[in-house]
Chains A and B, each alone.
Chain A
């Protein structure tokens, strides 16, 4: 078709991440060999990141419906009804591979991409969260990655002007060659003014908006769809460069033209850039699209059609405008100093036609580009069930007090202040609960409503038992929302796994998705958006097989509070209040942080999740909060009961006198990770006890608040001040140390 494009060879096909049989499929589909530009377009549309080819058949099993769901998966972000004519728009997305290669820019563009997904739908972003997984702190590269990723997230969100209010940070050697950066954004829109990506109407102008197109990020999505080799550093040119300033202008300009009624359809240019956005708009609207690349604003001259179609330059949008509003829209974009170019139109042909320099560079069937992407039912092997560990069989290396001191200053459980203080978490003036609690709480406009936001997953559980781990991730998000008094509404999932072509990894993915589905059905907590990141593994020099990450299906949960002033916090409030534990405690030590960090054993079956109990206990706690019967509430998770109590004490600088009931071995009682549990404090314990008895819920008294120490019966008392130093000091000291 075009003489100056390279010939299609098996090597070129392989470089595009396409398997020989996938190439055959392309030839069959279009009835001829593709041009070079077309090959690029197919590789962009058919890679794992854009096509979900390995996960699609399993994702279809997830529950996505509820009366309050306005838009489930398939659009730029999920949308739920939060009442008062408003909708919450949210999604989580990974930027793992780019962040490992170039941590600052990888993280910034991850944040930028997810913010764009939210405001593309007409919502003004009100909060961001981030779930970060790094390698072993002893790995010489870890410090560099933490430093760059955190600075990048802050650098983008702070400048853009959205509060980053929550998230998680974990360390494990299994992320040594492949850190995870999962960014979530949440926005608010009027529920009858949501914008979608489906084009409508023939001959409508397609307009390019935002920053210019450059040669950055070409093949970014393809890179993100393959495992790393020892040459990961050489992939740096595939990482895009973020410009939060342009994104802030793009936000304001987009919201302004949406408010003026100029927009028919809108799609941001994210993964696979112009290709993916143009194809999606046309395909969803049952229309063809013709693009004239001569009109695309470029950063440098001489860019080929191939480069323009595959560039992942940031802060760009594609829109279908109402023809009569084109001038008005252009004036708004010019006011904000942004590029605005008419680059094409919708056609009745259902073909995707790309012209450049007077020649047709691509002419492809638009529906098939997306719909006919390969879908794989990959073979999978279910993980073997691990034995349940009997707590009584665990030898205790150290006592309860020593163990708490060690855990509270460990990489996973220590304070993440060093991280969240680099994020502006108060901008917009609506942050009711700042980072450090069970869930962040952000007021909606002037209130009284507020959203509660959290991100959760316990990867070691997911590896030990993908199904229970998947359930647990959802249950914990649900629990964290309940603990602040919010009614959980919906979730977004970000599924991070290794190479799906390996049956054991595929088994993890399938198991986790089943668990997520089961929990979200049981808790009426539907999945409205999400992202899948596969091939998170690295072949180290001299190794044949990549080392996969721990399976990490991050769950981003969103809940609602009717009155933001009634949100509950975890800090003890006063001396002399009763401390109560809701939920059953067997003392489950398998896969616990205690077993791993104190006993040096990563073993056993993880705690099972009783979803009916989760639901009962969560609803019970929410009712206690609503009725003003409790003064503090905290969900129990990593580290178990005593770690949770220490967090409540440290947040208030009020101590507690505590006693374990007989029956369960002390270390298992204090550090076991049984699920569906909460700690609450109450002025009037009797009222809570009676209510629990009436509801038939397990509840025990643990002791009372007071003093300046955690005084645990049978153990050395621990001063709150000392615990706080351990809690607060580990991360700053680690980051200040020179690389090992």
Chain B
């Protein structure tokens, strides 16, 4: 799996992401500078990591969504290329129009860093084939603006088309306001686009991939992607 990790000024989880990709796919990703206009040839997957691109000034992701490299990402996605957008990446792809909706400030108006539980809603996507549907995974969040909001029609479509892929839940998989730390509508943590090749996800699976560090719940996402490309090859 050849991955390309985008680096915008102010992105800061690119090293975490690069390590996870290297550990699980066995291949270091190419780091792609925001001012570039082309993705490396042969890219299988574009990864937009977390951070504070452009300081989150103006609006989270708004400036990065208009960076030169994003034209190439749009074209890549339009051809069916996989795009994994985590945290600030999720905000960027929403701003870029690759996913619907917006990430607003957390309901209690504070930044939150803690482990949360996610219910994996489907296992039949390239991003979740490493998990079982209904499985609950534990991964950290670290964001101030992760509260997913969209208009009623969009939410109905997302739900109707099975495009909500990860949902905040209790440890036993119940959706419950007490376990929805940021107040996201329908406890949405991650969604895919219509075509199913762009995933936006607020939590950080890349921070839970090493057994020696305590938890490996995030591995499934990357291992599933590796499998996906193996099968396609």
CA distance A151 to B16 in the complex (A): 24
Q: Contact: A161 with B13, CB < 8 Å?
A: yes
In the bound assembly, the distance between CA atoms of A383 and B179 in angstroms comes to 52
Segment with Cβ contacts to B, from A31-39, A131-139, A187-195, A243-251 = A243-251
Given A159-B56, A429-B16, are A565 and B212 also a contact pair (CB < 8 Å)? yes
Contacts of B19 in A (CB 8 A): 429
Tell me the minimal C-beta distance from A456 to chain B in angstroms.
23
Residues of A contacting B214 in the complex (Cβ-Cβ under 8 angstroms): 432
Taking A159-B52, A429-B16, A429-B210 as given, write out 11 further A-B residue pairs in contact, using a Cβ cutoff of 8 Å, ordered by the A residue number.
A155-B111, A159-B55, A243-B55, A245-B52, A336-B9, A421-B110, A422-B110, A424-B113, A424-B142, A426-B113, A429-B207
Q: Say whether A429 contacts B51, CB under 8 Å.
A: no
Return the contact of A428 from the options B16, B57, B114 (Cβ within 8 A): B16
A429 contacts which chain B residues (CB < 8 A)?
A: 15-16, 19-20, 206-207, 209-210, 213
- From A151, A243, A421, A427, B114 is in contact (CB under 8 Å) with A421
Shortest Cβ distance from B16 into A: residue:
A429
Contact (Cβ within 8 A) A249 B213: no
B140 interface contact, C-beta 8 A: yes
A116 interface residue per 8 A CB criterion: no
Nearest 4 CB-CB pairings of A with B? A161-B12, A245-B55, A159-B52, A424-B142
- Using Cβ atoms and an 8 Å threshold, which residues of chain B touch A423? 111, 113
CB distance from A229 to the nearest CB of B (A): 33
Q: Label chain B's interface by main secondary structure.
A: mixed
- Known interface pairs A426-B204, A427-B142, A429-B213; A245-B9 also in contact (CB < 8 Å): yes
Count contacts on A: residues with CB < 8 A to the other chain.
31
**Is residue A160 contacting chain B, with contact meaning CB distance below 8 A?**
yes
Q: How distant is A549 from chain B, measured CB to nearest CB, in Å? A: 28
**B12 and A248 contacting across the interface, CB-CB below 8 Å:** yes
Inter-chain contacts of A160 with B (CB < 8 A): 12
B68 within 8 A of A: no
A selection of 27 A-B contacts at a CB cut-off of 8 Å is A151-B110, A154-B111, A158-B111, A158-B113, A159-B10, A159-B52, A243-B55, A244-B52, A245-B9, A245-B52, A245-B54, A249-B9, A336-B9, A421-B113, A421-B114, A422-B110, A423-B111, A423-B113, A425-B113, A426-B113, A427-B13, A427-B142, A427-B207, A429-B20, A429-B207, A430-B213, A565-B212
In the assembled complex, which residues on chain A have CB atoms less than 8 Å from the CB atom of B204? 426
Closest to B14 in A: A161
Instruction: State in angstroms the CA–CA spacing of A89 and B110 once bound together.
Output: 31
A151 to B110, CA, bound (A): 8
* Cα A158 to Cα B113 with chains together (Å): 10
Q: Is B149 an interface residue when CB atoms closer than 8 A count as contact?
A: no
| B112 contacts partner chain A, Cβ-Cβ < 8 Å | yes
Q: Contacts of B209 on A, CB cut-off 8 Å?
A: 429
Q: Which partner residue on chain A sits nearest B139 by CB separation?
A: A426
Instruction: Collect the chain A residues with CB atoms within 8 Å of residue B52's CB.
Output: 158-159, 161, 244-245, 248
A443 contacts the other chain (CB 8 A) = yes
Contact across chains for A443 and B213 when beta carbons are under 8 A apart: yes
What is the chain A residue whose CB lies nearest that of B114?
A: A421
Q: Which of A249, A337, A429 has the most CB of B within 10 A?
A: A429
Instruction: Give chain A residues whose Cβ lies under 8 Å from the Cβ of B144.
Output: 158
Report if A564 contacts B (CB, 8 A).
yes
Distance, CA A244 to CA B52, complexed state (A): 9
Q: Is the CB of A244 within 8 A of B16?
A: no
**A628 to chain B: which residues have CB within 8 Å?**
none
Considering the chains assembled together, what is the distance between the CA atoms of A47 and B71 in angstroms?
Answer: 54
Chain A residues 126-177 with CB under 8 Å of chain B are: 151, 154-155, 158-161
**B10 x A249 contact (CB < 8 A):** yes
